[in-house]
Chain A
Amino acid sequence: MIEINQLTKKFDNFTAVDNLSFTVREGEVLGFLGPNGAGKSTTMKVITGFLAATSGSVKVDGHDIATDPLAVKALIGYLPEGAPCYPDMTVLQFLDFIAEIRGFTGQEKQRRIDKVIGDVELGAVCHKTIDTLSKGFKRRVGLAQAILHDPKVLILDEPTDGLDPNQKHQVRQLIRNLAKDKIVIISTHILEEVSAVCTRAIIIAGGRILADGTPKELEARSRYFGAVSVQLTADFDLHKAVASVTEVSGIELSDASGRRHVLLPQQGAQIFSKVLDLAQNERWPVAEFHLVEGLLEDYFRSVTQGTVTGGAPKHETGVTQ
């Protein structure tokens, strides 16, 4: 269990992390979301013992990072931002070094190295110097050193940054497989990643927690939750057509063509099936009909910018009629 209690980190006069408190339990995959400079990386650096907190405490499995740093560091596998590795070593030499530092010797060391090389698919490059590897491989080497000792706590700072879609998928798969009875904290800008791998998401900005919940819960807080997107093929008076459905609280035009509309539901109402029935019965000229996606993104923007966003997610040019 990780307990973070009133954690504050200041750099000179700048407060990067401001009185942050939360607890993470085994089995949770926590997504750390926030705009650049929100304090995500700084929080991770404090948890991993790289930076000392200005005030407050971090405890991992009961060990305080300030008083017993080595015990905490032994429990944690950490992928720092940018996945730094010693550039003049080969992948094997590097993993050997990490394994020795982690206290493995002989056959056990070899077994662990072989296993991570298999897990993150580094077999093809294990004799190359890290300097010569592509960004994707470097990231995987960083990931390999973080999971080599099968840590109880895995902290990954932007683990999929710079990877291609296949590699991203692979890394997410890996994180999901690892997550059982572990604590995983990942930071990311990619919101779909949170829905894909995280069981819990915390949105921070300015070093404070703005939202904390499962990805589903956060999505439900979006004002587009349950909204229906309709793409018309001809001019049609949608306002008149849906007048009978009282749960529809409003209609937004969501692109410049004037044919794509978003029907907003009243708080908590389900309108999809009602509107669908209506559209079928009355033969609306419809090309597309679906629930609005990207709710997390909308919610993220609305909390981090401190305002309700104009325009439905994924359709940037919104005009409210």
Chain B
Amino acid sequence: MRILQIIFKRELAGYFATPLAYVFIVIFLVMNGIFTFDLGGFYVRGQADLMPFFSFHPWLYLFMIPAIAMGLWADERKTGTIELLMTLPVKLTDAVLGKFLAAWVLCGAALLLTFPIWITVNYLGDPDNGVIVAAYLGSWLMAGSFLAIGSCMSAMTRNSVIAFILTVAICFVFVASGSEIVLNAFNWAPQVLVDAVAALSFLTHFDAISKGVLDVRDILFFLVFMASWLFASAIVIEIKKAN
């Protein structure tokens, strides 16, 4: 636990030592603004909720999160510091979790900084703040799931651009598998299969949570999803660290 904290602290400080964290947060906020007000029709809808804000998050994360995750392990391999880290008295799980949590907290910070939109909607109307809190939580859980995939992809290569592309591709599968287009394409298949595909999608679970339905199964989906990909990361690092 102590080691995990030290690694977490170093990684988080690392994001702010370079412009990465600032660029990420600023772009994230600007994009959110554009999506919510222009594309989402926040005012036109005339409803006091944040649906237009949250409904774009999966698509925004699809490109933003891999950019954070791509360096997690690829950079360690590229600079050779992985050899330093892995020969310090550090457990691999502490390293994987510490790095992941630092990136996840950065995403959380960016998400929290969208609070003006919450103030706006409260000023303009009388929204259900419980639903909004649930949606924020759901969005953060989804960000973590994107990151966990990114962690694993980043462990596979020393080239962070390749890690980025792989992460986007895999995340796209998990987002799109819940969309109407993909599910309609499966209309020939038995309902069980369609449900299975939909159940693997971030969209299905995120939509449920962002509507204020805090089902344990949806939360569990994201937690188990993250744990599985982080476990895979550790295995990939163990196998590939020498190359």
Interface residue ranges of B16-59 to A (CB < 8 Å): 17-18
With CB as the reference atom, state the residue of chain A lying closest to B242.
Answer: A51
- The answer to whether B17 touches A80 (Cβ under 8 A) is no
Find B241's partner among A50, A76, A87, A89 (CB 8 Å cutoff): A50
Pair A84/B6 contact, Cβ less than 8 Å: no
Is A286 an interface residue when CB atoms closer than 8 A count as contact?
no
Total B residues in contact with A, Cβ cutoff 8 Å = 21
Are B87 and A76 in contact, CB atoms less than 8 angstroms apart? yes
Q: Nearest chain A CB to B77's CB is how many angstroms away?
A: 10
Residues of A within 8 A of B89 (CB): 70, 73-74, 101-102
Q: Is the CB of B88 within 8 A of A101?
A: yes
Which of A92-100, A117-125, A233-241, A252-260 participates in binding chain B? A92-100
* Cβ A100 vs Cβ B6 within 8 A: yes
Choose one: A49, A129, A145; the contact of B84 (CB below 8 Å): A145
- The answer on a CB contact under 8 Å between B81 and A70 is no
- Given A11-B242, A100-B6, A84 contacting B80 (CB threshold 8 A): yes
With A11-B242, A97-B10, A101-B6 known as contacts, the answer to whether A87 contacts B79 (CB < 8 A) is yes
Q: Are B14 and A88 touching (Cβ within 8 A)?
A: yes
Pair A50/B83 contact, Cβ less than 8 Å:
yes
Contacts A70-B89, A73-B89, A97-B10 given; does A84 touch B84 at CB 8 Å: yes
CA distance A195 to B13 in the complex (A): 44
What's the count of A-B pairs with C-beta under 8 Å? 62
* B90 at the binding interface (Cβ < 8 Å): yes
How far, in whole Å, are A80 and B18 apart by their CA atoms in the complex? Answer: 25
A199 vs B79: C-alpha distance when bound (angstroms): 33
A84 cross-chain contacts in B, Cβ below 8 A: 79-81, 83-84
Closest residue of A by beta carbon distance from B241: A50
Give the Cβ gap from A286 to chain B, nearest Cβ, in Å.
53
Interface residues of A (CB under 8 A from B): 11, 45, 48-51, 70, 73-74, 76, 78, 80-82, 84-89, 93, 97-98, 100-102, 129, 145
7 A/B residue pairs, CB under 8 Å, sorted by A: A70-B89, A80-B83, A82-B80, A84-B79, A86-B79, A88-B14, A97-B6
Q: 5 closest A-B pairs (Cβ-Cβ)?
A: A84-B80, A73-B89, A80-B83, A48-B87, A74-B89
